[in-house]
Amino acid sequence: MQAGRKVKSAALALDRMEVDRLSISYGPKLAVDSVSLPIRQGEVLALIGPSGCGKTTLLRSLNRLTELTKTASATGSIRLDGEDIATFEPTDLRRRVTMVFQQPNPFPMSVFDNIAYVLREQASKRPRRAALKDAVASALKKAGLYDEVAHDLSHPALRLSGGQQQRLCIARALAADPEVLLLDEPCSALDPQSTQVIEDLIVQLREEVAVVIVTHNLQQACRIADHVAFMYLGELVEYGTAEQVFGNPRQQRTKDYISGAFG
């Protein structure tokens, strides 16, 4: 499954997060079972596996969204730049580890105000619109959307196409200047052309932010990931470079999943 790869292995990677023997349960049900893996800036990490394998729970644990579920409990640790994320104030953590969801969810306001909202939330004093102009433009440029919307930043975000809405959500996440960007099946609701644009964007973004993506699309993971983590029934079955996992998997379960024997 090597044909169509968009990226070569990263030349330089910087450790950002470390998941260490993390287990997560919802009541008596174990969803993630003692998972350990690194998350690095300069790389895209793809979490793959069949539905219900724990990959989305693992993704949501990276900025403590799992704890919003009352029945959730966790053991082990996750560190961001060497600090246990359990010690962070949740809002501060979610500015540093931001998430983009499966369905585009722009705010019902203008393109400009979608980005400005994040910038104003971070400011000690409410900045004027003119003071935010450059920062808004920068976020939109990082998400590859600026050229398409620059002529009318007052355009309602909900009137953008689906692919544009998702890139706006990515721009909004990047406006917080995060260290880690979490993507939960960001292309599942998009057409092939929009998917290609988002994939190209993800590959570019890895140079300035660590990227973790959950995807059911194995071809997508092969195209854009530097490292791949295959999960099954809450267990991390295999972790390695995309070339190794897709080209020469070590575990039989990985081979069976990639070959389509189950999923």
Q: In this structure, which amino acid lies at residue 239?
A: Y
* pLDDT, tens digit (0-9, with 9 covering 90-100), for 87-112: 999 999 999 999 999 999 999 999 99
Task: For residue 81, name the pLDDT band (cuts at 50, 70, 90).
Answer: very high
Percent share of the chain, pLDDT over 70 = 94
Distances (CA, A) of 64 to 26, 57, 133, 160, 200: 14, 10, 31, 30, 28
The predicted structure's pLDDT at residue 6 = 62
Q: Is the pLDDT of residue 4 over 80?
A: no
The predicted structure's pLDDT at residue 125 = 67
Q: Any idea what DSSP says for residue 69?
A: S
The predicted structure's pLDDT at residue 5 = 59
The predicted structure's pLDDT at residue 123 = 66
Cα–Cα nearest to 118, from 100, 193, 103, 102: 100
Residue 137 three-state SS: helix
Task: For residue 129, name the pLDDT band (cuts at 50, 70, 90).
Answer: confident
Task: For residue 130, name the pLDDT band (cuts at 50, 70, 90).
Answer: confident
* pLDDT, tens digit (0-9, with 9 covering 90-100), for 221-235: 999 999 999 999 999
Q: Is the pLDDT of residue 2 over 60?
A: no
* pLDDT, tens digit (0-9, with 9 covering 90-100), for 23-64: 999 999 999 999 999 999 999 999 999 999 999 999 999 999
Q: Is the pLDDT of residue 8 over 70?
A: no
For the chain, give the mean pLDDT: 93
**Cβ-based neighbours of 22, under 8 Å, separated by 6 or more:** 32, 34, 35, 36, 58, 61, 74, 75, 76, 77, 78
The predicted structure's pLDDT at residue 262 = 75
What average pLDDT does the segment 8-13 reach?
66
Q: In this structure, which amino acid lies at residue 59?
A: L
Task: For residue 11, name the pLDDT band (cuts at 50, 70, 90).
Answer: low
Task: Output 199 or 125, whichever has higher pLDDT.
Answer: 199
Q: Spell out the domains of the chain, with CATH numbers in brackets.
A: 14-106+177-258 (3.40.50.300)
Q: In this structure, which amino acid lies at residue 123?
A: A
